[in-house]
Amino acid sequence: MRVYVAPHVAVFSIDAPQFETFVNLKPGTYNALVQAWDDCGGIAKAAMKVIVSATGGVTVYSPANHSAAAFPLRFVVGAGSPACARGVSEIRIYTAPGVEAYAGQANHVDVALTLAPAIYHAVVQARDYCGGVFTVPITATVRPPTPSPTASQTPPHGNGKEFQFFAGIIQEGCCYLRPSSDCLNMYLMQGL
């Protein structure tokens, strides 16, 4: 699969049936195109408009606010601080006041938190090297894990002639990583 942000300008390529990635982009509007090829010469394309803003802060791509999610609860977060030359130093996730569930020294994170089934009023916090703090509240319900499907419950996977492609972005725009670039979190899946 390949991600283009302009004609003949690829920003990401991978030989895999699915992927998730952060792509650095400068602030602006892009008419992105995701293209996938199957082993029989078939091609699938998905176009999407992407707006990358030049403002700083923290962006939570997953979970969506006021969503219900299966166990474990997955957080996908990006952050940036254009006013601080060194950028973001860490991202923390609090599942309740004073209850830190995750801390990492990066400007983006993709982590699955093992939380008991409940409603969580979480806060995602990013700190930069200049003392700036950005926060986003997220309310999410964690459902109990579901049992694995039996063979009779598993849907068919196609007959080798079908080609399905699903592409999307969690949110238009993205988190600002540094003054000259930005990031876009794409969730893409190719099913055969």
CA distance 125 to 37: 39
Topology of domain 65-142, per CATH? Immunoglobulin-like (2.60.40)
- Every domain of the chain and the residues it spans: 2-53+157-191, 65-142
> Shortest CA distance to 115 belongs to which of 74, 83, 63, 166?
74
Global pTM reads 0.61
Q: Walk along the chain (192 residues) and give the pLDDT tens digit of each residue.
A: 888 988 999 988 888 877 777 776 777 888 888 888 888 888 888 888 877 766 778 889 889 999 998 888 999 998 888 788 888 999 999 999 999 999 999 888 999 999 999 999 999 999 999 999 999 999 999 998 776 655 443 343 433 333 333 333 333 333 322 222 333 334 333 333
